[in-house]
Amino acid sequence: MNATRTLATTARVLSQIRHDPRTILLLVVVPSLLIGLVAWIFTDTDVFATIGPAMLALFPFVVMFLVTSITTLRERRTGTLERLLSMPLGKGDFILGYTLAFGLLAVIQSLVASGYAIWVCGLTIKGDVWLLVAVAVADAVLGSTLGLFASAFARTEFQVVQFMPAIVFPQILLGGIFLPRDQLPAGLKEISDWLPLSHAVDALNAVATDSHDAAYVGGQLLIIGAFAVGAVVVGALTLQRRTS
Amino acid sequence: MMNSVDAAVVIEGLRVRRGSTTVLDGLDLSIPRGQVVGLLGPSGCGKTTLMRSIVGVQRVAGGRVEVLGQPAGSGALRHRVGYVTQAASVYDDLTVRQNLAYFRRVLGAGKHDVERAIDATDLGANAGQLVSTLSGGQLSRVSLAAALLGSPDLLVLDEPTVGLDPLLRVELWSLFHRLADGGTSLLISSHVMDEATRCDRLLLMREGAILADTTPDELLAETGAADAEGAFLTLLRRHHPRHALDDAEPGGTPGGADDDGAAR
């Protein structure tokens, strides 16, 4: 691992994305538009106040998962990864370089989505808004690192898109968005405890309703961070300098 | 036989399996330093697998591959071996210069290296262009330019001249010889036999085995053929007597099929 090579990789990924304005637009705008749609659907009810915070966890998570998994898969398929691994680039440099680049995009995306939900859609946040943004960012970074992880197990773009229902959908179903997690049947509740998105939704709800202190939210953030680090480490382990 | 001091690459008993097929089965080879060595043979004969083994990105089933005195793929070699794959492995959503600047930083090479590589591959007019807008020939030159960064001691080039303008091809071959004169060892694969005469040494490969390890002049003299294509055919018939039925082998003897050592 070497800071120069890691940062060179981050800068390279960011300048690749800079050449693709459509991707930037999609990354920044799509989650906000979807949150706006949910708010519109529930205009005459108070449902948005309940599920709005969870939307901040959901959409950036999904978008970052897809973008990251496909970008890194492309790197594996075009032979640039093989070139890099025949050079003095460490596996950690590669993964961390990507994580930093997409993490930065996740920060921008989460700031825009949170601002849009609060000031445009009128989502009420009783707790600290910055804590809300912090959780949303951690969650988008988590989506990014899980995308890196998934790309290691896919050979084609078709396969990596299939990982989206396999890895992401169960977390959405069990994350407390459809049914509060404490009302889930026995067994499912315990499974949902082990899914990272559940903790992101819990933390966002806690900030929105101001029902827990900052220490609780910090604990949830740590759990999300641990999953992100785990995905990065396993992702790095799957990078092989020698392939058959 | 060269010892490992004056050889760039020494291979002993290399075996590579891909899936259930054995691509290389006990291959022995030695490549001298400071020369342009051509690796010729038909598509699918194992050229790329051999090159990947030398670069250290191929999983091998057995044998020894030593590059510049160290085991292939070892950490110290990653600064010293440049590799160009058949498909141009560069980022098509970056400009030529941005691609090279990134690989330069990964290698830790000097800043002036980017311009040197651009000049050497005649990409000056396209340096600011996005790679996705380049022609096939320009694209493979960007890939080659990336391999020149950091002045590696060994260059492994997998079909670097495919689809290039004849003039440019001549220029690249003279670049290869200038590099070799400066002490760089080059291994260059091709399936175009007429490129054979441009090499200092030749390795003829077929079905995972080296048929001949020789110089262009020796090859022509020994087979009595007029060109490299004819010489390759002669060697094939010697190794596979069944093909000899079609045509009398020039200067062949009944014992020719056993004459394995003669081509070396």
Rounded-to-integer distance, Cα A43 and Cα A37, Å: 10
Model confidence at B252, in pLDDT bands (50, 70, 90)? very low
The CATH architecture annotation of domain B7-80+152-263 reads: 3-Layer(aba) Sandwich (3.40)
- Give kind and range of the element (H or E) at residue B87: none
Considering the domain boundaries, does residue A207 fall inside one? Answer: yes
Q: What is the pLDDT of residue B243?
A: 53
Whether A98 contacts chain B with CB within 8 A: no
| Model pLDDT, residue B5 | 62
Q: Is the pLDDT reported for residue B42 higher than 80?
A: yes
Rg, chain B, Cα only: 19
Do B6 and B33 contact (CB within 8 A), yes or no? yes
Label the pairing between strands B7-18 and B154-158: unpaired
Number of residues that make up chain A? 244
Q: Are A15 and B98 an interchain contact pair (Cβ–Cβ within 8 Å)?
A: yes
Q: Is residue A83 part of a domain?
A: yes
What residue spans define the domains of chain B? 7-80+152-263
What residues in A contact B98, CB-CB < 8 Å? Answer: 12, 15
Task: Tell me, yes or no, whether A242 lies in a domain.
Answer: no
Q: Which two tokens stand for residue A81?
A: 């990864």
The one-letter amino acid code at B79 reads H
Q: Which residue of B has its CA nearest to A244?
A: B59
Position B262 scores a pLDDT of 39
To the nearest whole Å, the CA of A90 is away from the closest chain B CA by 9
Question: d(Cα B114, Cα B97) in Å, to the nearest integer?
Answer: 7
HEC-encoded secondary structure of B192-261:
CHHHHHHCCEEEEEECCEEEEEECHHHHHHHHCCCCHHHHHHHHHHHHCHHHHCCCCCCCCCHHHHHCHH
Alpha helices in A78-195 (DSSP H): 80-85, 91-115, 129-151, 157-163, 169-174, 188-193
- For β-strands B62-67 and B7-18, DSSP reports them as antiparallel
| Interval B50-68 mean pLDDT | 94
Is the CB of residue A71 less than 8 Å from the CB of residue A225?
A: no
Out of A20-34, B20-34, B142-156, B228-242, least confident range: B228-242
Q: Quickly list H helices, chain B.
A: 47-55, 96-107, 113-120, 136-148, 166-181, 216-223, 228-239, 241-244
> Encoding tokens for residue B11?
């291979």
- Token readout for A153 is 């197990």
Question: Is A60 part of a structural domain of the chain?
Answer: yes
What string of DSSP letters covers A24-84?
A: HHHHHHHHHHHHHHHHHHTTTSSHHHHHHHHHHHHHHHHHHHHHHHHHHHHHHHSSHHHHH
Contact B146 A83 (CB under 8 A): yes
Q: Are B174 and B202 in contact (CB under 8 A)?
A: no
CB B204 within 8 A of CB B41: yes
For each of chain A's 244 residues, which pLDDT tens digit applies? 789 999 999 999 999 999 989 988 888 899 999 999 999 999 988 888 888 888 888 888 888 888 888 888 888 888 898 899 899 998 889 888 988 898 888 889 889 999 999 999 989 889 888 888 888 888 888 988 898 888 888 888 888 888 888 888 999 999 988 888 999 999 999 999 999 999 999 999 999 998 888 899 999 999 999 999 998 888 888 788 888 7
With a cut of 70, say whether residue B254 has pLDDT above it: no
Say whether pLDDT at B259 is over 60.
Answer: no
ipTM for the complex shown: 0.85
Q: Is A203 domain-assigned?
A: yes
∠ CA(A172), CA(A176), CA(A180), 5° rounding? 155
Does B59 reach chain A within 8 Å, measured CB to CB?
yes
**Distant-in-sequence contacts of B168-176, Cβ < 8 A, 24+ apart:** B168/B122, B168/B137, B168/B141, B171/B122, B172/B121, B172/B144, B173/B36, B173/B198, B175/B120, B175/B121, B176/B36
C-alpha closest to that of B148 among B78, B100, B187: B100
Residues of B in contact with A79 (CB under 8 A): 85, 87-89
Query: Does residue A34 form part of some domain?
Result: yes
pTM of the entire predicted model: 0.85
Interchain CB contact of A78 with B (< 8 Å): yes
CB atoms within 10 A of CB B135: 12
Cα(A121)–Cα(A116) distance, rounded to whole angstroms? 6
Closest partner residue to B85 among A9, A16, A79, by Cβ?
A: A79
pLDDT in tens, B148-203: 999 999 999 999 888 788 888 888 899 999 999 999 999 999 877 778 889 999 99
Alpha carbon B92 to its chain's center: 24
Chain B partners within 8 Å of A88 (Cβ) = 75, 78-79, 106-108
**Residue A206: inside a domain, yes or no?**
yes
The structural domain count of chain A equals: 1
Strands B62-67 and B201-206, bridge-based pairing:
unpaired
HSE-CB of B263 using CA atoms within 13 angstroms = 26
Taking the Cβ of residue A86 and every Cβ of chain B, the question of whether any pair is shorter than 8 Å is answered with: yes
Tokens of A243: 């392939």
Give the domain range for residue A72.
Answer: 3-237
For residue A95, the Cα-to-chain-centroid distance in whole angstroms is 15
B89 vs A9, A20, A78: nearest CB? A78
pLDDT of residue A102: 86
